């Protein structure tokens, strides 16, 4: 699977005076699940789009630095080739539906048709993608009749059918109800377990802390830190960047309950529970 290397990435949208991305360098390991956090307008979506190649191939503007997915530089690589390496999912599932297809199956086949994938291979890939996203039973449904969670999973299936090595999700559940959100997170976790490299920009810190191997904190287009969720969410200056840690971390901070071995606060329910139990046992 793919490793991502970002070197001194800078980007300014056309007509803007400020840098949306300001000298970002980082390496994302193959198969890693990377969370992206920061306040509104900190650059999360811009970073997602730069890794997916939409910046600078679709969004023009001033661009500096380099983004590599394995040995491919996203700025120079052919779009068809890039689509088979990296896929991106946006906030609103509604906007990602082609609008020209009558069934979920046809919708998922859209990207593959454009790539000229042979029929048998196409069918195999679509069946596998629907199975993985748990939407096989919806294959004959009209795309716009799906729930938000189902629609978002259909969008992910369309990407998965292209067999990318990297999937980028930009607040994929912010428009969904709790059930839809859970369905999508479960699906993303499955993809991660298959070894796909995942980048997830997210405001839901509980979910992000639960799934991420590392978290990158952005502010004003700058990379402030990249570290484990425990280290990031234990930072005392987090509120200055407009980020609230997971509720479990907030409670443990208030109670002064942290892991003695690392000096970090818990970030998930399970971690917090274990520490509480340990305290009670003492």
Ligand X SMILES: Nc1ncnc2c1ncn2[C@@H]1O[C@H](COP(=O)(O)OP(=O)(O)OP(=O)(O)O)[C@@H](O)[C@H]1O
The residues of the shown chain that bind ligand X, judged by CB under 6 A, are 13, 16, 18, 20, 38, 40-46
DSSP-derived secondary structure letter, 246: P
Residues in Cβ contact with 222 at an 8 Å cutoff, skipping those fewer than 6 apart: 22, 23, 24, 43
From the list Mg ion, ligand X, none, partner contacted by residue 13 (C-beta under 5 to 8 A by kind): ligand X
Cis peptide before 280 (omega within 30 of 0): no
In the complex with Mg ion, the residue whose CB is nearer, 42 or 234, is 42
Taking the complex as a whole, the smallest distance from the CB of residue 148 to Mg ion amounts, in Å, to: 18
- In whole angstroms, the minimum distance from the beta carbon of 96 to ligand X comes to 16
Q: Which is nearer to ligand X, 84 or 175 (CB)?
A: 175
DSSP secondary structure letter of residue 139: T
**Residue among 157 and 215 whose Cβ is closer to ligand X:** 215
Q: How far is the C-alpha of 238 from the C-alpha of 215, rounded, in Å?
A: 13
Residues that bind Mg ion (CB under 5 A): 44-45
* 41 touches, from Mg ion, ligand X, none (C-beta below 5 to 8 Å by class): ligand X
> Given the complex with ligand X, which of 242 and 263 has the nearer CB atom?
242
CB of 208 vs ligand X, minimal distance in Å: 13
With CB under 5 to 8 Å by kind, the binding choice for 38 among ligand X, Mg ion, none is ligand X
Q: From ligand X, Mg ion, none, which one binds at residue 192 (CB under 5 to 8 Å depending on kind)? A: none
Sign of the CA dihedral running 173, 177, 183, 186? positive
Q: Which does 16 bind (CB under 5 to 8 A by kind): Mg ion, ligand X, none?
A: ligand X
Q: How many helices (H) and strands (E) does the chain have?
A: 11, 10
Find where tokens 């942290």 sit. Answer: 258
CB of 42 to ligand X, least distance (A): 4
Least distance (Å) between residue 214 CB and ligand X: 18
Nearer to ligand X by Cβ, of 42 and 234: the residue is: 42
Which residue lies nearer to ligand X by CB, 3 or 39? 39
Burial state string for 187-203 with b = 16 or more CB within 10 A and e = fewer than 16: bbeebbeeebbbbbbbb
Instruction: Report the C-alpha gap between 212 and 188 in whole angstroms.
Output: 11
Q: Are 86 and 25 in contact (CB under 8 A)?
A: no
> In whole angstroms, how close is the CB of 92 to ligand X at the nearest point?
12
Q: Which two tokens stand for residue 185?
A: 């997170």
Query: Which entry of Mg ion, ligand X, none binds 173, CB below 5 to 8 A by partner kind?
Result: none
Bridge-based pairing of strands 197-201 and 86-89 is unpaired
């Amino acid at each position: 699977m793919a490793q991502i290397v970002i070197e001194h990435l800078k980007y300014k949208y056309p007509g803007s005076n400020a840098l949306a991305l300001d000298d970002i360098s980082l390496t994302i390991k193959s198969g890693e699940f990377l969370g992206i956090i920061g306040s509104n307008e900190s650059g999360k979506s811009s970073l997602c789009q730069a890794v997916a190649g939409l910046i600078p191939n679709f969004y023009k503007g001033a661009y500096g630095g380099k983004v590599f997915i394995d040995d491919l530089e996203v700025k120079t690589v052919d779009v068809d080739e890039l689509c088979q390496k990296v896929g991106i999912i946006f906030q609103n599932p509604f906007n990602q539906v082609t609008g020209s297809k009558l069934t979920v199956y046809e919708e998922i086949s859209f990207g593959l048709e454009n790539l000229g994938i042979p029929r048998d291979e196409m069918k195999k890939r679509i069946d596998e993608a629907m199975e993985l996203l748990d939407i096989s039973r919806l294959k004959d449904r009209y795309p716009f009749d799906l729930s938000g969670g189902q629609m978002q999973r259909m969008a992910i299936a369309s990407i998965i059918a292209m067999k990318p090595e990297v999937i980028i999700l930009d607040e994929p559940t912010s428009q969904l109800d709790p059930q839809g959100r859970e369905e999508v997170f479960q699906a993303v976790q499955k993809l991660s377990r298959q070894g796909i490299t995942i980048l997830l920009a997210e405001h839901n810190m509980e979910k992000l802390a639960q799934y991420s191997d590392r978290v990158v904190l952005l502010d004003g287009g700058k990379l402030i830190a990249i570290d484990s969720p425990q280290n990031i969410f234990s930072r005392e200056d987090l509120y200055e960047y407009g980020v609230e840690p997971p509720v479990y971390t907030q409670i443990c901070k208030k109670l002064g309950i942290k892991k003695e071995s690392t000096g970090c606060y818990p970030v998930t329910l399970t971690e917090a529970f274990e520490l509480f139990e340990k305290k009670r046992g003492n």
